[in-house]
Each structure stands twice: as structure tokens, then as C-alpha cells.
Amino acid sequence: MTIGIKRLTLGIVSTNAYLVGDEETKEAILIDPVDEAPLLFQTAQDAGWTIKLILATHGHFDHVLASKELKELTGAPFYIHKKDEPLLKHLPATGIRFTGLPFPEAAVPDRFLTDESETITVSSIKLETLFTPGHAPGHISFFMPEQRIVFSGDCLFAGSIGRTDLPGGDYPLLMKSIFDKLVPLGDDVRVLPGHMQETTIGTERRTNPFLLSYEQEL
């Protein structure tokens, strides 16, 4: 069993999309259809992978801009947490607010994820859902226990955390998500975030100024 991961950093705020592929069956999951659907599709094809599922960590525009077009290109279902559905519906208007031009419509979700943890499986790829709100109301992180990897979206970054000054943001809730759901995964777990470079839980627990400051406040 070999799992491959390809990261593409795309869009106006340099957001990370992750293709996770089973090298034996050639089936793949795309985590965060951030932008440039044809490039995401072609990257999977170049690897010999077929995208079977599209997941979004949350509904902020830079994580779902390619969702509708990629769903059309692949025929793959699209999953996101129910609490972020309003963000999808307002995607065109969000574009006007940020750029002066409307963003494309988001994909219609085929299924909503919930607060309860579950395991999503495609071939040998197993992702455990971790409800990690605070940056967005319906934020989900995806954990691969066998590979010791968590896709943290905009919950936890290298040396930083997700913004909480946007609508629906909640700093205490975000910190609770980090300490209750991510830190217990273990220091060895690799963190593949929605922006910037990868890190580990241990590195962030020991050096992240936001985590250290929050711990002192407890």
C-alpha cells in the first residue's frame, strides 16, 4: 500500500490543495479545490490518478473556487460541513467584495459532514474527520492515522493559526479545537496546512507563539 500526496499552491492568496492518491488502484481524493480546476484535474491525470472524491476543509472562497468546475470535470462528489453551506451560496457575492468581480458558483454538496468523527475511505486512503471550528463554523481537519498526517486546513499553520476576525470566527473555539483535536494526535504527526509550508504537531506545540501564549493563559 503506497499513498502519494501532491500539493499545489494556487489562487490569489496562495492556498494549498492536496491530491491524495492510492498508487495501486490509482484512485484519489482532492482536499480543497482551491482554484484552477483544469490544472488540478491534469495533475491527477499526469500521475495516473482518478479523482473519486472532493473534500473541503471549510467554505472560505480560496478553498472552494474550483469546486463546481472540478466536480464537472471529474464527476466526483463534493463533501463539506453543513455549517459552511452559507459560504458556498454567497461565493459569487464574496468575489465582488474582494475583487470587484463575482467568483464562480460553488459546487452543490453531495453530502454534508457533521460534528461527529467518521472515516472516509477511497481505496486504501482512510481519512478521519476532525471537527475543528473557530476559523470557520464548519471547519473540518482530515487525519490519516496510518501515515501520521493531518490536513489542518486553516486551523493550524507553521508558526501561526487561522484568522478569527472574519465572520463566524471564534478565537477561544479555534484554540479549543487545536488543543482538543490536533495536539492529542501526537508530536510526530505531520501537519499539511491550507497555507504555507508543512510542519509537525510537536514543532507547533513547542514553538508556535499562539499556542504557547494560550497555554500560559489557562
C-alpha distances (whole Å) from 109 to each of 88, 104, 133 are: 9, 15, 19
Q: Is residue 74 left, alpha or beta, with left meaning phi > 0 and alpha meaning psi from -120 to 50?
A: alpha
| CA 126 vs CA 26, 29, 68, 189: distances in Å | 15, 10, 24, 15
Whether the model pTM is above 0.85:
yes
First-to-last C-alpha distance (Å) of the chain: 43
pLDDT band at 10 (very low <50, low <70, confident <90, very high): very high
In this structure, how many other beta carbons lie within 10 angstroms of the beta carbon of residue 111? 12
Query: What are 122-143's pLDDT values in tens digits?
Result: 999 999 999 999 999 999 999 9
Q: Reduced to 3 states, what is the DSSP secondary structure of residue 177?
A: helix
Percent of the chain at pLDDT > 90 equals 91
The predicted structure's pLDDT at residue 55: 98
| pLDDT (tens digit per residue) in 84-101 | 999 999 998 888 988 888
- DSSP track, 13-49: TTEEEEEEEETTT-EEEEE---S-HHHHHHHHHHTT-
- Using one digit for the tens of pLDDT, what is the confidence trace for 25-45? 999 999 999 999 999 999 999
Question: How many domains in the chain?
Answer: 1
pLDDT at 179: 97
How would residue 58 be classed by pLDDT, with cut points 50, 70 and 90? very high
Parent domain of 16: 3-217
What's the rounded Cα separation, in Å, for the pair 154 and 193? 6
147 pLDDT above the threshold of 90: yes
Residue 166 belongs to domain with CATH number:
3.60.15.10
Q: What is the pLDDT of residue 217?
A: 79
Please give the Cα distance from 203 to 41 (Å, whole number).
33
Query: Average pLDDT of 138-167?
Result: 97
Q: Mean of the pLDDT values across residues 16-23?
A: 98
The pLDDT value recorded for residue 64 is 98
Mean pLDDT score across all residues of the chain: 96
Q: Quick count: other Cβ atoms within 10 Å of Cβ 163?
A: 14
Cβ atoms of 76 and 109 within 8 Å: the answer is no
pLDDT for 188: 98
pLDDT at 1 over 90: no
- pLDDT for 66 equals 98
Residue 167 in this model has a pLDDT that exceeds 90: no
Per-residue model confidence (pLDDT) at position 106: 96
CA distance 190 to 5: 12
Predicted pLDDT at 172: 96
